[in-house]
Chain A
Amino acid sequence: GAVVSQHPSRVICKSGTSVKIECRSLDFQATTMFWYRQFPKKSLMLMATSNEGSKATYEQGVEKDKFLINHASLTLSTLTVTSAHPEDSSFYICSASPSGRRNEQFFGPGTRLTVL
């Protein structure tokens, strides 16, 4: 149990295009999901907290108009990188907390984004 999937696992896109990444909790409901970004050989940095049915909470320095987050259901959160640029190339990892169990986070397999 407690499986989180991400789609796609890898994406290559041209500069200026938008890319949508999906994060799904497969066998539990998640009121809260988190989006992290990891640059090569660096640590994970929390980008935003996604709450089902409400607006996401963004960390300082993360542009909410560039990284659009939608959490329309208890099993799905999406991150859309709008007008992507090469500096947005990174490994994006989501995690999900089961409803009522905020002290647990289950991580997805990650999405590697390369912007040409």
Chain B
Amino acid sequence: ELKVEQNPLFLSMQEGKNYTIYCNYSTTSDRLYWYRQDPGKSLESLFVLLSNGAVKQEGRLMASLDTKARLSTLHITAAVHDLSATYFCAVDGPGGGADGLTFGKGTHLIIQP
């Protein structure tokens, strides 16, 4: 059974600080996804990581993938309040994109002034 674990599940941090969210998954997967969810809303796609060593950056967010360690990180640089949200990582099921995604439990991020 494919398992995806995120940590921390809850994070409260101050504006201007840096922090990293970790995502471990239990079996080989072709792709890893990061999503943002605001309260009462659906998912917003942030990153799709396709290969070992992939690194993508968008604004204050940077995601990386280590397929050998089955680990992805989402790094937040100089956090601002607008980044407060719940962040999910997800991986493809055993059948690749044909099987839907398996999600981590999510990291609820609160950024305080």
Chain B, interface size: which category? Answer: 20 to 34
Q: Mark A63-97, 1 if CB is under 8 A from B, else 0.
A: 00000000000000000000000000000010101
Contact B103 A105 (CB under 8 A): no
- For the residues of B in contact with A, the DSSP-based class is strand
Contact B106 A103 (CB under 8 A): no
Distance in angstroms between the alpha carbons of A106 and B105 in the assembled complex: 20
Instruction: Tell me, yes or no, whether B66 is within 8 Å of chain A by CB.
Output: no
Residue of B nearest to A41 (CB): B108
Chain B nearest CB, measured from A12 CB (Å): 15
Contact B101 A105 (CB under 8 A): yes
Query: Contact residues of B with A, CB < 8 Å?
Result: 30-31, 35, 40-43, 45, 48, 50, 88, 90, 92-93, 96-106, 108
A-B contacts, 14 of them at CB < 8 A, read A32-B98, A34-B100, A42-B106, A43-B103, A43-B105, A46-B93, A46-B101, A49-B98, A59-B100, A93-B43, A97-B97, A102-B98, A103-B31, A103-B50
